Amino acid sequence: MIELTCGILVSIGMYLILENNFIRKVFGIVVLSTAINIVILACGRLNHATPAFISSSSVNGFANPLPQALILTAIVIGFGLLAFLCAVIKALMADHSIFKQKS
Amino acid sequence: MNIMQLLISFLFALPIFATAVYLLFIKNNQMIVVKLTQLIFSLLLLTLSVMIFFKHNNNIIIHVASWHAPFGISLVFDHLTTLMLVIFSLVIVCINIFSFQDPDLQIQSNTFYCGFWLLILGMIGALTTYDVFNLYVWSEVMLVSAFILLSNSQLHNTFKVYHYAMFNIVGTLLMLLAIAFIYGITGSLNYMKIAEFLRHHQSSLMTPALLLLLLGLGVKGGLFPFYFWLPNAYPNTSSSSAMLLASLITKVIMLVLLRLAWLWSPLHTSFIEYLFIFIASCTMFFGVMGAANHFRIRDILSFHIVSQLGYIVLAIFIPTSLAIIAAVYFLIHNVFVKTNLLMVAGIIEKQCDSTNLNKIGQLLKSSPLLASIFFIAAMSLAGLPPLSGFWGKLLILKAALTSHVYIGACIAIIVSLFTLYSMIKIWRFGFCQNQQTTKITTPKFTLTATQLIATLPLLIIPLALGLYPDIILPTLKSITVDLNRGLGS
C-alpha cells in the first residue's frame, strides 16, 4: 500500500513540475520531496519498534534510527531550497517583462 | 591525534571559518581588508592541500567522530582526492586574485566571498566523502553556494537563475530518491559496504536504482539530454563566479562518477557502458555544435564546457586503466585551460564592455600579450600537438580504440575539429578583425599586475603538463592502482 502511495505522489510531483506554471512547479517540488521522504521511511528497514536506547537488559530489537536522521536532513535541505526558489519566483514576478511576453 | 588528522580537520575548518568571517565581521566597503583576508585564506588552503598531498603515502580513512563504517561517515584521502585538492586549490588561488579586479563584484563583495568559501567546503566534502547520503548533503552545499554566486551579479539574470535552480533541485531530488532505493536494497550508505554487497548479491532492483542515481548526477553534471541549464546560467553572471562554478561543480561530479564507476561493479556492465558511451558522444557533439552556433565568447566557452564533459564521461566508462589516466589527465588539463580562457574572456569584457564577436575586434593590436595568452590556451583546448590538450585527447582516443569503442573515438575526433573551428572563430573575429567592421574600438591597453598574476600560472602549468607530462604520471599511475583495487588498505 505504501509503495503505491509513494508511486502516486512521485508521479503527481513530476506532473506538476512539468507544467508550465511557476506556482505549480513549486507545489510539484513540495509534493516530490515529501514523497521521497516517505520512500526513505518505507525503504528504511524499520523492522523493530523499541526506542533506540541501549538498556542494560538487551541491545537487540531496537528501531533503526538512521531513516529518521536521513529524513530530518532531507526535510531541512528541501525547505531551504524551496525558500530560495520562492524568492527567485518573487523576483521574477516583480520583473514584469517576462509575463508580458507570455500573455 | 597525529599530524594528518590535524591537517585534515584544518582543511574542513578553514572554509567554514572564512564563510563566518565574511558573513559576520567584514563590511562591504572594506575592500582592502577583504582582499587581504581572501589572499591569506586561499594561500592557507593551498598550503594545507599541498602538505596533505606530500605527507600522505598510503590511503587515509577518517571515521568522523570515531563511528566506524556501517554507522558513521568515512572520509577517504587517497591519491585521487589529494591530487585533485591541490589542483583545485591552485585554480582557486588564481580565481581569487582575478576576482580582486572584477568590476561586477565591487558592490556585494562579501556575499560573493561567502559563496566562494561555501563552494570550496562543498567541493572538499564531496571529493572526500565515502557515504552516499553525505555526498547528497555536500552536493546541496555546492548547489546553495552556486545560487549565491549566480545571483550575485549586476546583470538581470533572475530567469537564468530560476532555470538553474529548477533543473538542479529536480536533479538532487532524483538523486535522493535513488539513494533511498540503494539504502533499501543494500542496507548501507557507505560506498565500500555497498560495493561489497554488490559483489556478493545479484539484485535486479539495483540497475534501476543506479540508473536513477546516474540520472540525478547527469542532470547536476550537465550531461547530454539535460545540459541546457549550463550554457544558460554560466555566461550570465559575473566572470569570477562563472570561472568558479565551471572549474569546480561539474568537475567534482565527474570525479564522483569516476569513483563510483570503479567501485560499484554493476556500473561496468555492458548495458550501462553502452548507454554512457552514447550519452558521452551526444554530450560532446551537441555541446560543440551549440558553441559553433554562438557569437559571444562566454557563450562559446560555456558550450565547450559541456562538450569537454563528454570526453571525460567517455573515458570514465571505458573499463581500462589507461582510460582512468586519460580521464584524470584530461580533467586536470581542462580545469586549468578552461579557467584561463574564461579569464581572458573576463578581461575582454572588462575592456570592451562586451564579448560579442560582431562588435569587438583588433585585440591583437590592442594587447599582444592577452592575444598570446589566449592563443596558447585556445590551441591547448583544441588539442594541437605540443600542448596539454593533445596528450589528453590522445590518451582518450587510444583508450577508446584499444577497447573497440570506435564510434566514440570517431565522434571525439570530429568534435576536436569543431573545437578548433570555434577557437579560430574567436581568434579571427575577436583578435584580428579590421578596424572598419568593428563597432567598438578598443584603445591599446596593458594587462594589470593582478591580471598577469592570475593568468600566468594557469598558462604555465598546462604548458608544463603538455611539454613534460611525466611530472604527474607517477601520481596518475597510483590513482589507477587505487581505483583498480576498488580501494585497499
Query: Of B158, B177, B180, which is closest to A95 when you measure between CB atoms?
Result: B158
Question: Which of B379, B308, B311 minimizes the C-alpha distance to B341?
Answer: B379
Q: Residue A102 has what pLDDT?
A: 52
CATH number reported for the structural domain that contains residue A44 in this entry: 1.10.287
Q: From the CA of B184, how many Å to the nearest CA of chain A?
A: 4
Express each pLDDT in B436-459 by its tens digit.
666 666 677 777 888 888 888 888
- The answer as to whether A33 is a domain residue is yes
**Average pLDDT for residues B414-428, to the nearest whole number?**
90
Q: Residue B280 has what pLDDT?
A: 92
Residue B223: CB atoms within 10 A of its CB come to 27
Query: Of B137, B161, B181, which is closest to A73 when you measure between CB atoms?
Result: B137
Q: Chain-wide mean pLDDT for chain B?
A: 86
Q: Residue A54 has what pLDDT?
A: 62
Give the whole-number percent of chain B exceeding pLDDT 70.
96
What count of Cα atoms within 13 Å lies in the side-chain half-sphere of residue B396?
A: 34
Q: Is the pLDDT of residue B61 over 90?
A: no
Task: Report yes or no: A45 at the B interface, CB cutoff 8 Å.
Answer: yes
* Whole-number Å distance between alpha carbons of B61 and B184: 25
Task: For chain A, report the end-to-end CA distance as a whole number of angstroms.
Answer: 43
Going by DSSP bridges, is the β-strand pair B74-77/B60-63 parallel, antiparallel, or unpaired? antiparallel
- B-facing residues of A in 83-102 (CB < 8 A) are 84-85, 88-89, 91-92, 95, 98
Q: Residue B137 has what pLDDT?
A: 93
Q: Residue B134 has what pLDDT?
A: 92
The pLDDT profile of chain A, 103 residues, written as one tens digit per residue, is: 888 999 999 999 999 999 888 889 999 999 999 999 999 988 877 776 666 666 666 666 677 778 888 999 999 999 999 999 999 888 888 876 655 555 4
Task: Report yes or no: A36 at the B interface, CB cutoff 8 Å.
Answer: yes
Q: Which residue of B has its CA nearest to A42?
A: B184
Q: Residue A48 has what pLDDT?
A: 66
Task: Report yes or no: A38 at the B interface, CB cutoff 8 Å.
Answer: no
Range of the domain at A39: 2-48+63-102
Q: Residue B92 has what pLDDT?
A: 93
Q: Residue A103 has what pLDDT?
A: 46
Q: Residue B266 has what pLDDT?
A: 78
B91: left (phi over 0), alpha (psi -120 to 50) or beta: alpha
A·B CB contacts under 8 A: 73
Query: Of A32, A44, A80, which is closest to B173 when you measure between CB atoms?
Result: A32
B73 or A100: which leads in pLDDT: B73
A4 or B267: which leads in pLDDT: A4
What are the domain boundaries of chain B? 269-489
Q: Which residues pair with A50 in a beta bridge?
A: A62
Q: Do B176 and A36 touch (CB under 8 A)?
A: yes
SS3 A50: strand
Q: Residue B425 has which C-alpha cell? A: 572563430
**Average pLDDT for residues B91-113, to the nearest whole number?**
82
Q: Which residue of A has its CA nearest to B157?
A: A92
* Whole-number Å distance between alpha carbons of B148 and B116: 9
Domains of chain A: total: 1
ipTM: 0.89
Comparing A52-61, B309-318, B346-355, the range with the smallest average pLDDT is A52-61
Q: Is the pLDDT of residue B489 over 50?
A: no
